């Protein structure tokens, strides 16, 4: 069994990014990511802390904006509008999920495309978690072309964008949601399984075999800690390759996000400002073994 080691992949990416950030610092550009947190939640705080810690190590600045109750879409959009116009802001992310009263689509589409480093709009930047999954597989020389890929979960952060990117790379994709009846057989029939349901144990040992590649991109929280979807201890000995949680997709996702911030700072940082209507070509030439990968 091969362990798909996200910490290793992330550390290689971060080494390259650190050098690139140093070059930007010499040009008096300090890559800066603004994180908008709506409400307070221990797990969200944990995610933000992980991002901040890694960013600091490579010289990227993170500024957090807390939006407090009473919540409204307008209140969050106002913060984003202000950041869209701000020069020392190269990327904006709004930590999800948002409170019920806030319209997630309106918030996401309020972000200027050249600052949408979470890639929600799928315009100038590749979304970090799907990129992390693809880069993790590439690193271990696991092709997706013509492979049967079953994705469990159809969410905004992983399932939806990943199914698009996987299909663009020639994979035969099957997406399962909570209404899918035959998840177990779709898992059994796949070559690669990506689980992003947020349901611990949803990939169990009776669904897998020795040729399976399993990527655990699920996150759920219990008692302030984050869990994956795969029953790792039971499943790992039975499959060909698997990622763990923690230490799998998570660290690479953070590195991908920071890579987008570096790309944004390098492409748009020197210019005074860009408007929503301009869509200049983004310079994606960054980050070590992934230099040639541009978003598709
Ligand atoms: N909530 C959990 N993970 C993420 C993430 O990667 N980006 C955003 N915006 N929200 C999240």
Digit-coded pLDDT (tens) for 260-287: 999 999 999 864 444 554 555 676 655 4
CA distance 274 to 251: 31
Index of the ligand 1 atom closest to the CA of residue 96:
10
Q: If you write DSSP's letter for every residue of 90-156 in order, what string do you get? A: SEEEEPSSPPTTS-HHHHHHHS-GGG-TT-TTSSSS--HHHHHHHHHHHHTT---TT-EEEEE---T
Tens of pLDDT, residues 53-105:
999 999 999 999 999 999 999 999 999 999 999 999 999 999 999 999 999 99
Q: According to the model, what pLDDT value does residue 288 have?
A: 36
Tens of pLDDT, residues 174-212:
999 999 999 999 999 999 999 999 999 999 999 999 999
CA distance 47 to 284: 25
Q: Identify the three-state secondary structure at position 27.
A: coil
Tens of pLDDT, residues 18-44:
999 999 999 999 999 999 999 988 888
Index of the ligand 1 atom closest to the CA of residue 257:
6
233 pLDDT band (50/70/90 cuts)? very high
Model pTM? 0.92
CA distance 24 to 65: 24
**222: CB partners within 8 A, 6+ apart:** 200
Length of the chain: 296
Q: Answer whether 203 contacts ligand 1 (Cβ < 6 A).
A: no
Residue 93 near residue 33 (C-beta atoms within 8 A): yes
Does domain 27-115+251-277 fall into CATH 3.40.367.20? no
Q: Answer whether 47 contacts ligand 1 (Cβ < 6 A).
A: yes
- Stretch(es) of the chain classified as CATH 3.40.50.720: 128-246
Pick the CATH number of 128-246 from 3.40.50.300, 3.20.20.60, 3.40.50.720, 1.10.3720.10: 3.40.50.720
Burial degree of 291 (CB within 10 A; 0-12, 13-18, 19+) = exposed
- Stretch(es) of the chain classified as CATH 3.40.50.10860: 27-115+251-277
Centre of ligand 1 from the C-alpha of residue 270, in Å: 27
Residue 109 near residue 118 (C-beta atoms within 8 A): no
Centre of ligand 1 from the C-alpha of residue 57, in Å: 20
Q: Answer whether 249 contacts ligand 1 (Cβ < 6 A).
A: no
Other beta carbons less than 10 A from residue 213's beta carbon: 22
Q: According to the model, what pLDDT value does residue 283 have?
A: 67
């Amino acid at each position: 069994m091969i362990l798909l080691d996200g910490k290793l992949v992330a550390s290689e990416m971060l080494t390259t990014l650190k050098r690139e950030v140093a070059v930007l610092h010499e040009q008096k550009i300090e890559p800066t990511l603004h994180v908008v947190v709506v409400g307070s939640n221990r797990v969200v705080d944990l995610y933000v802390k992980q991002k901040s810690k890694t960013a600091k190590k490579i010289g990227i600045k993170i500024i957090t904006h807390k939006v407090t109750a009473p919540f409204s879409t307008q209140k969050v959009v106002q913060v984003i509008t202000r950041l869209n116009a701000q020069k020392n802001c190269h990327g904006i992310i709004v930590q999800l999920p948002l409170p019920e009263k806030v319209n997630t689509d309106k918030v996401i589409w309020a972000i200027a495309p050249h600052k949408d480093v979470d890639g929600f709009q799928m315009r100038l930047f590749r979304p970090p978690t799907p990129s992390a999954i693809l880069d993790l597989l590439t690193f271990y020389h696991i092709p997706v072309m013509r492979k049967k890929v079953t994705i469990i979960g159809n969410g905004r952060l992983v399932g939806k964008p990943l199914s698009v990117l996987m299909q663009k790379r020639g994979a035969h994709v099957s997406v399962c949601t909570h209404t899918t009846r035959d998840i177990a057989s779709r898992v059994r029939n796949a070559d690669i399984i990506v689980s992003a349901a947020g349901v611990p144990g949803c990939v169990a040992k009776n669904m897998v075999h020795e040729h399976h590649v399993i990527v655990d991109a699920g996150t759920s929280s219990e008692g302030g800690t984050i869990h994956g979807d795969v029953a790792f201890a039971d499943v790992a000995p039975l499959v060909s390759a698997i990622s763990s949680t923690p230490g799998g997709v998570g660290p690479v996702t953070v590195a991908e996000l920071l890579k987008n911030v570096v790309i944004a700072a390098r492409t748009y940082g020197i210019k005074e400002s860009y408007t929503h209507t301009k869509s200049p070509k983004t310079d994606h030439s960054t980050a070590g073994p992934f230099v040639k990968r541009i978003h598709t």
